[in-house]
Structure formats: C-alpha cells, structure tokens
Structure 1
Amino acid sequence: MISNPQLRTRAEAEAARLPPLLAQAEQLAGTVLLGEHGRRRAGLGDDFWQYRPVQPGDSLRMIDWRRSARSDAQFVRQREWQVAQSVMLWVDQAASMGFASTKEGVTKRDRARVLSLALSILLIRSGERVGLTGTTLPPRRGEAQILRLTEMLLTDENDDYGTPEARAMLPHARAVFLSDFLGDMDAVEAALLKAADRGVRGVIFQILDPAEESFPYEGRAIFESMGGSLSHETRKASELRQRYLDRLAKRRDRLQHLARVTGWQFGSHDTGHSAQSALLWIYRALEQKL
C-alpha cells in the first residue's frame, strides 16, 4: 500500500498513461493489419516449417483448425522464421527524445513509444517473442507481454542522449533500435558491432523532429539540450544552418555505413509525417531475410 501522498499521486499518474499509449498502439497496429498494405498471415516467414502443439500465449487465430481436426490436440502452423526467432527492442528514453518544436507537435519519445509498442503488438499476435534489450524484459509471447512492454516503455531517463543497450542479446535474434541518434556515435557503433558478433540483425530507425531536419531558426537564439547540460547562444542562428545540416548529414551517413557493415537496415522518420508509414516500413524491413 502506498502511504506517501506524493508517491501515490505519481503512481496513479503513471498508471493513467498506460491505457492511452496502449490504445494508440492498438489503433496503429490495426491500420497495418487491416489497411490495403496489411498482410493477413500467421507470421513473418513465408516458408512452412512444421506444425507444433498450441502453447500458452498463442491466440485462437494462430490455430490450424484443419490440421487440429485430425487429432485430439490443437496445432499451430509454424513458419520457418518463427521457429527460433525473437525480436528485441531498444527504445531511446533519454531527455533528447522529449523534444517537440511546437506545442501541437508530437515528441520524438511519444512517436518512438507508439511505434515500438504497435510493432510489438503485430509481432506478438503473430506468435513471435518480443522483449527489450538488456536484462529487464526478456522476449516472451502473449498478451501479458504487451502490458509489460507498455509499462517499461513509459520509463523516462535523465541523460541528455541515449546509449544503445546491447547486453543479453540473444544469438541470431532480430532487433530494432529507435532513437534520434544525436548522442555518442561511438557508443552506437560499439553496440551494433557487439550485436553483429552474436549474429543479431535488425533495423536502425532514426526519429527526428521536423525542426531538427530543417533548422528553421533565425536571429538571436539560445539552444539548450533537453537535459540542460549543453547550451549555446548565437545572434545569427541562420548562419549556423548549413554547418548544422552538414553535420546531421554526416551523422546519418555514418549510421547508414554502420547498417551496411553489420547487416542491418537503416530508416529515418520525422514526427511531422505519418506514424503508419513509419510502422509499415519497420514491419516490412523485419520481414526481409537479413
């Protein structure tokens, strides 16, 4: 029982955030499953592998009723990719992800959370195992895992910029890293190389605000990091534009290079565009045999 009033208020506020995030993710996942681009099939792999008995966490729609009718047990038709595959997510929760250039705009953090949770819903309901990188939430199947992911994805971090977590990566798993990737690039490289050494392949997905893509600032401006550790003042912000855009392009080029040498795929998205198109791109990228 929570006796501290402030702690209780905070706990209730955190709990209240679960349903809206889950509802957004459910709706977004539904647009991919039911939209004209959706692919209604049991799993991500196309090649039939085997039948297996139904396990806890399997949904009714996964059951192959024709095969099950020939025996007293129920069976799931497994795809080749499903047999030994898990998907592990790293979703940047650092302070920089809380940025939105307008009051009406969505933050990078919120977009990353909705995309990652919607992707998890699609995968888990296709029978896949999904979890977080590191040791906090190993990959599992089932609806309960969706709730665990929702809760874990609502945890903010205080650091200005996030560092990819590559501990406890399962050999030959797949992974998705969602971040603005504006922090230490050496740390990103180290994490990707560590994952690649274990046979892990996946998707690097960069999420930026429209203002971070275009740098529309003019005149006197003070630029501060979201965590407050960095600050820069200028009288002519427009003079910084080209230098900023050049550095952003170099950073993106490095991400693309890292993706190539590690066997991953690189994608980018700004929060002014459709979340549906971003989810569809990630989902299709995972479908490909890397």
Structure 2
Amino acid sequence: MAAENRHLNEEILAVRRADGESRTLAASLPRLVLEARRIAANVIHGLHGRRRAGSGESFWQYRRFVSGEPSQRVDWRRSGRDDHLYVREQEWEAAHTVWVWADRSPSMAFASRNARDSKLERGLIVAFALAELLVAGGERVGIPGLMSPTASRSVIDKMAETMLHDDATRASLPPSFVPSSLAEIVVLSDFWSPLPEIAAMLAGLSSSGAHGTLIQIVDPAEETFPYSGRVEFVEPEGGGNITAGRAESWTNDYVARVALHRDQIREETNRLDWLFSTHTTSRSAAELLLYLHSGMMVSKSGGRATVKAGRSA
C-alpha cells in the first residue's frame, strides 16, 4: 500500500506540473534556448550542409569531366592546369521554407519520473535546435500562424520571443494554412488528438502538394502504462478525470489502443506521402534532431526534402 501511495503521489505531482509548467513557459524558455543551442552546436560539427550541385550563381566545386557530357561544360582554365578535364559546378540555390510546429498545449507539460524532459521541453528544444541547423544550412524557418519564415541567424531568439507574446489558446495541432508546394512541415506533438482532427490537419497542409513529417513525442509512462492499484487519471486539457480501481488490468487494452491510434495516423501519412515516427522523452534530444536533420536532403528529381523513414526517433 505504501508503494502504491508513493507512486500515486508521484503521478499527482506530474499532473500538477503539467497544469503549471505551461503557465511558467517564460521562466523556462531561457534554459531551453541554451540547451537547444548546445545540442545544435554539438550536432552541426558532424553534419554537412544541404547544398547540392545544380543551377545557381555561387561556385561549389570542380569535378572531373565525365565522358558523354557536353563539351561546353568543361572549365578550360581549370583544366589547363594539369592533364585532366574539369567541370565547374555551381551551388544549387535550394533554400526553401520549413515550417516547424511545436505543440505547447497543456498535455505536453506532463513528465513522469523516467523522463529526461517534459514533452513540452523536448518539443521546444528540438524545434529550436532544428531551426538553428536549417538556417545555418541556408533554409528559411517559420512557425505556422505565429512567425513568418526567416533566415535570420537569431532564429531561435525570434521563435522564443514570438511564443512569449502569443496569448492565444495553445492548440495541439498547427492552424490551417496553405503552404507552398515546395514547403516542408515538421509537426512535433504527442498526437493524442482524435484521429479526424489529425486527418483534417494533414489534408489541409498537403492540399498544395507540400510534404512533411509528424513526430509523436511521448513520455515513457505513456508508452508502457506502469500503473497499478487505484489511480485517478486527470485529462489536463478538458478537465475530466477517470478512476481505475485496478489500473494494471487496463494495460493490455491501453497498449492496443495506442498501437491502433498510431497505425491509423501512419495510414494517413502514408497515403499522403508524409512520414510519421515516434520519440520517447527518455531518449536524447540529439537523437531526434539528427534523425530529422540528416534526412532533410533535397531531391534533385522533384525538389522535395524528405526525412528517411524509421520506426522511431
């Protein structure tokens, strides 16, 4: 009984944190910004930019001439320096807009004892760090409904300031808007919204031909449902609650419902040629950042930026 009471008290504290943390975002943001910059700095040293050969004005590199190419592509000045023929390649000016949405709704503030960060903290850290890397690579980053696309090197500060001055109700999903066909969207959320709402969001964002990635950020407790005995579950956004007499008896049904919900989301993203992956807050933020950024390579064939598929990040 003592163990059950201790566990219940821990979860009550987690619920209270979920209720209060979203109201103290102003106090948390400086720390999250510093953490995002630290992670971005650590990651960026091992990454190459998103530059690719193609049409553009900036010189990129010389490469060996390949038999069968048009002879007018040969750079005769460079080729005259030795016994090989070289082609002067220009940088492909591929900068486009990446819209990044980090869910800041009350449910994201939840954090159990096994989490490194709350879902809110993890989503913001990764959103800020991803924006930093993208801008360093020549991209523009915007927040749907909040911040116009920018290539400013102070993009993290702009994002944080915009969020601090956002007095609107914090929705789980990004607002309806029509991105350009070449735009890319990254949505970081726990995606516990009803499936029809998620499907409607996807339909709207993909209507112009844009593509993107949904990352479901979850707490370890939301993955495994480690509850037993009498537990009261409080819904942080609707204010409702439900009491389980023997919470352990709910585990199998819970896990099955979560798997079904994810399968349904994945079915929607696959149909629209989007990607869906999950990330648990017991894992590192750098792991998710690498997963997102390393896969965002522009395809010369269609101009689309894609994220390599994976079961989880």
* 8 A contact 1:163–1:184 mirrored in 2: no
Percent identical pairs in the alignment equals 30
- Cross-structure match for 2:32: 21
Per-residue deviation, residues 215-273 of structure 1 (Å, max 9, x unmatched) = 01011100011235221101100111111111100111112112211111111100001
Q: Cα distance, 1:184 vs. partner?
A: 2.1
Distance across 2 between alignment mates of 1:121 and 1:104: 25
Q: Does residue 1:191 correspond to 2:204, yes or no?
A: no
Q: Cα distance, 1:208 vs. partner?
A: 0.1
**Structure 1 pair 143/273, CA: closer, same or farther in 2 (3 Å)?**
same
Q: Does residue 1:163 correspond to 2:169, yes or no?
A: no
Q: Cα distance, 1:97 vs. partner?
A: 0.3
Query: 221, 234, 246: which one pairs with 1:224?
Result: 234
SS at 1:239 equivalent: helix
Distance across 2 between alignment mates of 1:244 and 1:157: 32
Q: Aligned partner of 2:216: which letter?
A: Q
Q: Aligned partner of 2:226: which letter?
A: P
Query: 43, 51, 56: which one pairs with 1:50?
Result: 56
- Cross-structure match for 2:113: 102
Distance across 1 between alignment mates of 2:51 and 2:35: 27
**Structure 1 pair 217/16, CA: closer, same or farther in 2 (3 Å)?**
closer
**Structure 1 pair 263/26, CA: closer, same or farther in 2 (3 Å)?**
same
- Cross-structure match for 1:213: 223
Higher mean alpha-carbon deviation, 16-25 vs 214-223, is at 16-25
Distance across 1 between alignment mates of 2:154 and 2:162: 13
Distance across 2 between alignment mates of 1:255 and 1:157: 27
SS at 2:276 equivalent: strand
Per-residue deviation, residues 149-190 of structure 1 (Å, max 9, x unmatched) = 12234558766x713323242332001000000012211111
- Cross-structure match for 1:71: none
Task: Tell me the TM-score normalized by structure 2.
Answer: 0.72
Distance across 1 between alignment mates of 2:201 and 2:115: 34
The within-5 A match list for 1:1-290 is: 17-34=28-45, 38-41=46-49, 44-51=50-57, 78-82=91-95, 85-102=96-113, 105-134=116-145, 136-153=146-163, 162-227=172-237, 229-287=239-297, 289=299, 290=306
**Structure 1 pair 211/133, CA: closer, same or farther in 2 (3 Å)?**
same
Distance across 2 between alignment mates of 1:120 and 1:105: 22
Unaligned runs of 5+ in 2: 1-23, 63-89, 300-305, 307-313
Q: Cα distance, 1:22 vs. partner?
A: 1.7
SS at 2:35 equivalent: helix
Q: Cα distance, 1:286 vs. partner?
A: 2.2
Q: Aligned partner of 1:51: which letter?
A: E
Distance across 2 between alignment mates of 1:253 and 1:45: 35
Distance across 1 between alignment mates of 2:205 and 2:26: 33
Higher mean alpha-carbon deviation, 280-289 vs 266-275, is at 280-289
Higher mean alpha-carbon deviation, 228-237 vs 114-123, is at 228-237
* 8 A contact 1:94–1:157 mirrored in 2: no
**Structure 1 pair 14/241, CA: closer, same or farther in 2 (3 Å)?**
closer
**Structure 1 pair 64/213, CA: closer, same or farther in 2 (3 Å)?**
same
Unaligned runs of 5+ in 1: 1-12, 53-62, 67-76
Distance across 2 between alignment mates of 1:285 and 1:157: 33
Which structure has the bigger radius of gyration?
A: 2
Distance across 1 between alignment mates of 2:258 and 2:168: 24
Task: Tell me the TM-score normalized by structure 1.
Answer: 0.78
SS at 1:40 equivalent: coil
Higher mean alpha-carbon deviation, 139-148 vs 25-34, is at 139-148
Distance across 1 between alignment mates of 2:154 and 2:40: 17
- Cross-structure match for 1:73: none
Distance across 1 between alignment mates of 2:51 and 2:107: 36
SS at 2:55 equivalent: strand
Q: Aligned partner of 2:138: which letter?
A: G
Q: Cα distance, 1:284 vs. partner?
A: 2.4
